[in-house]
Amino acid sequence: MGYPATRRWKVYDNLDFMRGVEAFLNFIPASSIEAIRRGMVEMGATRSNQVVLLDRLMDSNPLFLTGNTDTVYASVVLDLDRDGPTVVEIPPGSGPGTVNDAFFRFVMGFPGPDKG
């Protein structure tokens, strides 16, 4: 004895819906990074040696996923396929200086797994 077929299909429909919601939520960080990258390209920063410096503090207008209102941001997008291995030097005392992947996971930097 089992559940009627219509009840089973409702469960499958719900699982499909939940998987869709999960996929959407999991890719919000990647969408944010891609929007930041595109914005940087529009400003002319197309190479890994070109840095975008946000010289004013943020308010609620920018569409940064996790933008802080008390942080000065300098941003660069690395293309390791094009540029190969890249050395990033961050002067002491200039902030945590983190490197994130496309999902905003720390790759290196003070808060990351290598602890700076």
For residue 3, the model assigns a pLDDT of 62
Percent of the chain with pLDDT over 90: 15
Question: How confident is the model over 21-31, as a mean pLDDT?
Answer: 90
Confidence tier at 29 by pLDDT (50, 70, 90): confident
pTM: 0.66
73, 54 contact by CB (below 8 A): yes
CA distance 1 to 9: 16
Q: What angle do CA 71, 75, 76 make, to 5 degrees?
A: 165
Q: Residue ranges of the domains in the chain? A: 5-108
